[in-house]
């Protein structure tokens, strides 16, 4: 069996608290294949950040271990870290350097000299070429996010870890970033992505892993996960309150209402119930279930799991 790019082996993590402790991860085992694009999904507090902190060597697991191309992230830290390019959630930068200087210093941390050609390509691919000589303090939040991505990729790591890389950024950056990361993945780089934008995960990821309350609750090919959603979704807009029986079934975002429906007969029953309740709807459509529907369904089925932060 081929060696995994990243192997989480029975990883657990407990943090001390003033009142005792809480467990953030419960015996998580997961192998990420070489060249794979894997999405790691879960609600806030699911344990995603703890898992990535352990992968990066920033936190020690309470139990289990993590291997990066066979190197233990605790025992063989330098070898494991050399193989990782990690884009963190937080914007952290040195305010005294230009964009190019920042990337040159980052290259030096990995012992790389004469890396200017690759730095130029990163600047071009991430839309930073015209900001190369700008001080980091002069950049917008979105531009700083691009520099973080460039820093993570400056040593051409075989494994790229993206922790909420497009949170709060504009559409242009999202498209630019995904075009470049998809290219790197096609060239053989392994990618691990955490995101709350489930349409991104659905479009990009070969497989999806889902965490809830520190436990792995789903792991499968994206196509199979979507196929497991046997229902369609009735979607419409309304300004009115739904009857309690329908509200219990619905997912409501602002004026948009989404209700699962197995077949045409159930769609008709739902519409009849709306008419009877005098609920006026608009922009109605029936669509196939997407990854967000699968995610909500799986999270809803796992209420018996132990709690983690």
Query: Percent of the chain beyond pLDDT 70?
Result: 95
Structure tokens at 274: 């709306």
Q: Is the pLDDT reported for residue 237 higher than 70?
A: yes
Q: Is the pLDDT reported for residue 304 higher than 90?
A: no
pLDDT tens digits, residue range 167-217? 767 787 788 888 889 999 999 999 999 988 888 899 999 999 999 999 999
> Is residue 217 domain-shared with residue 277, that is, in the same domain?
no
Across 9-23, 152-166, 174-188, 220-234, least confident range: 220-234
pLDDT tens digits, residue range 81-97? 999 999 887 777 777 78
CATH number of the domain at 163, please: 3.40.50.300
Give pLDDT, residue 305.
37
> Is residue 23 domain-shared with residue 41, that is, in the same domain?
yes
> Is residue 181 domain-shared with residue 61, that is, in the same domain?
yes
Give the HSE-up count for residue 249: Cα atoms under 13 Å, Cβ half-sphere: 17
Of the three residues 207, 226, 245, the one that is the final residue of a domain is 226
Mean pLDDT, the chain, rounded, equals 87
**Mean pLDDT to the nearest integer, 140-158:** 88
Structure tokens at 211: 């965490």
User: Do the domain assignments include residue 270?
Assistant: yes
> Is residue 75 domain-shared with residue 162, that is, in the same domain?
yes
- Domain of residue 212: give its range: 6-83+157-226
- What is the C-alpha separation between 41 and 204, in angstroms, rounded? 13
> Is residue 20 domain-shared with residue 76, that is, in the same domain?
yes
User: Do the domain assignments include residue 120?
Assistant: no
Structure tokens at 101: 């200087």
pLDDT tens digits, residue range 101-147? 889 988 888 888 888 899 999 999 888 898 888 888 888 877 888 88
E strands in 143-266: 159-163, 190-194, 207-212, 215-221, 232-237, 251-253, 256-261
> Is residue 19 domain-shared with residue 53, that is, in the same domain?
yes
**Mean pLDDT to the nearest integer, 246-272:** 86
Overall number of domains in the chain: 2
> Is residue 60 domain-shared with residue 183, that is, in the same domain?
yes
> Is residue 161 domain-shared with residue 258, that is, in the same domain?
no
State residue 30 phi and psi, 5-degree precision. Answer: -160, 130
């Amino acid at each position: 069996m081929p060696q995994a790019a990243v192997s989480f082996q029975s990883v657990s993590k407990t943090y001390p608290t003033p009142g005792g402790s809480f467990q953030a991860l419960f015996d998580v085992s997961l192998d990420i294949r070489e060249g794979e694009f894997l999405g790691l999904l879960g609600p806030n507090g699911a344990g995603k950040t703890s898992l990535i902190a352990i992968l990066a060597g920033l936190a020690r697991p309470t139990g289990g271990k993590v291997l990066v191309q066979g190197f233990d992230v605790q025992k063989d830290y330098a070898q494991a870290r050399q193989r990782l390019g990690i884009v963190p959630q937080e914007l952290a930068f040195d305010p005294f350097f230009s964009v190019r200087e920042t990337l040159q210093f980052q290259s030096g941390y990995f012992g790389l000299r004469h890396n200017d050609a690759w730095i130029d390509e990163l600047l071009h691919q991430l839309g930073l070429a015209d900001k190369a000589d700008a001080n980091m303090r002069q950049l917008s939040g979105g531009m700083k996010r691009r520099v973080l991505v460039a820093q993570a990729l400056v040593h051409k790591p075989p494994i790229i870890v993206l922790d909420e890389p497009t949170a709060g950024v504009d559409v242009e950056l999202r498209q630019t970033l995904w075009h470049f990361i998809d290219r790197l993945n096609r060239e053989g780089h392994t990618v691990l992505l955490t995101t709350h934008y489930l349409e991104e995960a659905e479009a990009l990821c070969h497989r999806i892993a889902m965490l809830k309350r520190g436990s792995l609750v789903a792991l499968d090919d994206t196509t199979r996960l979507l196929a497991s959603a046997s229902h369609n979704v009735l979607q419409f807009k309304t300004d009115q309150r739904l009857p309690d029986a329908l509200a219990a079934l619905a997912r409501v975002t602002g004026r948009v209402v989404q209700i699962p429906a197995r077949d045409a007969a159930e769609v008709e029953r739902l519409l009849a119930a709306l008419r009877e309740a005098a609920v006026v709807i608009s922009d109605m459509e029936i669509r196939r279930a997407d990854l967000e529907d699968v995610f909500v369904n799986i999270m809803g089925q796992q209420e018996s799991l132990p709690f983690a932060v």
